[in-house]
Amino acid sequence: MIKYLKEYRFYITLFLFLLIPVIALDTSTRAPRDYRFYDRVILAVTSPIQTAISWSLEQAVDLTQGYLYLWNVKSQNTHLFEENRKLLGQIASLKEAENENVRLREILNFQEKMKLESIIARVIAKDVSTEFRAVRLNRGENAGIKKGMAVITYEGVVGRVLRTTATTSDVVTILDLLSAVDAVGERSRARGVVEGLTDELCQMKFTLRTDDIQPGDFLLSSGLGGIFPRGVAVGTVSKVKKKQFGISQEIEVKPAVDFTKLEEVMVVLNQKVEVIEKPIEPKTAKAEKASDKNGKTEKTAGAKPAGKTPRVPKPKKVAEPAPPPGGTE
C-alpha cells in the first residue's frame, strides 16, 4: 500500500488539489444545513489544520508586533531616562538656588538688624591642617577686607580675618586655639573669654567660680575689644565643672555656628561705636574781652587767677662788710 502511495503520490496530490476547489465551490453554493456526508468528513479533517495554521499565523503576528513594540518601548524608555536625568539636575539646581536665596535673605535681614557696614563672602575652602582651624573666603583686599576684621553670620560669630590677599581671605574660626571672643551670658550676665578647644567645641575661660553659669545658657558677644559687634550669638553652654579649689570654673561651649555647613558669611568692615563725650562750655563774651585786654581770665570767687604765672620777687643784693683796717694777716 505504501509502495503504491509513493509511486502514485503525484497523481494523488493533484487529484486532491483538484477535488478541494470543487468541493469548496459546491459547499459555498449550499446552506450549512445541506452539508453532505463527505462535506462533513472533509471539514472534520481540515478543521484542525486550519486551526493550527490560524494559531501559528496569529502567534507570528503577535510576536512580531510585540518585538517591535518592545523595541519602541526601549527607545522611548532611554529617551525618557535621559530627560528625567536632566529634569532631576534642574530640580537640584533650583533647590540649591532656593536654599542659597534663603540663606542670603537671612544674612541681609541680620545685616539690616545689626546696622553694620559689611560685605557678604562665600567659603571656598577649608584648612585641613592641624595648625589652624580656618576657612578661606572669595573676597580679599580688593573688596576692602583687612587683617583682624570680624567675620559673622546670622547664626553667630565665625571668627576673625587672619591674613589676606588681593582676592581671598583666610579666617581663623572660634574653634581655633588662637581665637578669643569676649562673651557674656544672656541669663546671668556672667563674663568670660571663649576660646577654641576641639573641632566641635569651645571653652570659656576666666569665669569666676562664684558666677552663675548653667548648661543651656546662651552666650553673646560683649563687644569688648572692638573686634566683634555686641549682641552676636557665640554659643550654648554644654558642660560646667566647678573645681573645689581655685577662682575659675571649666566651661564647655557648643558654637552657635555649624561650621560643617558654613557657606556664606559677613565680614564686618567698619564697626560703628557710639561714643558720648561731655560738651565743653564756650567762653562768655565778657571773659573773652577781658582776656584780650589784660591777658588774664576773669577771677572767680575763691579761685586763683588763671593765665600768666605770678611773678616771683627777686632777692635784694646784700652789701658785703668792709675789711678791717691794716689788711689781712
Which long-range contacts does 194-200 make (Cβ < 8 Å, 24+ apart)? 194/219, 194/234, 194/235, 194/253, 196/133, 197/252, 199/133, 199/175, 200/175, 200/254, 200/255
Q: Strand pairing partners for 172? A: 134, 160
Residues composing the chain: 329
Which strand (E) or helix (H) includes residue 220?
strand 218-221
Say if strands 169-173 and 150-152 run parallel, antiparallel, or are unpaired.
unpaired
How far is residue 14's CA from residue 293's CA, in Å, rounded to a whole number? Answer: 160
CB count in 10 Å sphere of residue 209 = 13
How far is residue 37's CA from residue 40's CA, in Å, rounded to a whole number? Answer: 5
pLDDT in the model for residue 277: 36
Go through 5-28 and write b for each residue having 16 or more CB atoms within 10 A of its CB, e for each that does not.
Answer: eeeeeeeeeeeeeeeeeebeeebe
| In the chain, where the domains are located | 13-114, 117-270
pLDDT in the model for residue 25: 66
How far is residue 111's CA from residue 230's CA, in Å, rounded to a whole number? Answer: 13
List phi, psi (to 5°) of 41.
Answer: -65, -45
pLDDT in the model for residue 328: 41
Which strand (E) or helix (H) includes residue 10?
helix 9-28
What does pTM read for this prediction? 0.55
- The secondary structure of 46-76 as a DSSP string is HHHHHHHHHHHHHHHHHHHHHHHHHHHHHHH
Residue 87, SS3 per DSSP: helix
How far is residue 135's CA from residue 231's CA, in Å, rounded to a whole number? Answer: 23
Question: For every one of its 329 residues, what pLDDT tens digit does the chain have, with 9 covering 90 and above?
Answer: 677 777 777 777 877 777 777 666 665 665 555 566 666 777 777 778 778 888 888 888 888 877 777 777 778 888 888 888 888 888 888 888 888 888 788 877 777 777 778 898 999 998 877 667 899 999 999 999 999 999 999 899 999 999 999 999 999 999 998 889 999 999 989 999 999 988 889 999 999 888 899 999 999 999 888 888 888 999 999 999 887 778 888 999 999 999 988 888 999 987 654 333 333 344 444 444 444 544 444 444 444 444 444 454 444 444 444 444 444 43
The residue type at 226: G
CB 181 within 8 A of CB 174: yes
CB 207 within 8 A of CB 249: yes
> Does CATH number 2.40.10.350 belong to domain 117-270?
yes
pLDDT in the model for residue 17: 72
Burial (CB count <10 Å: 0-12, 13-18, 19+), residue 61: exposed
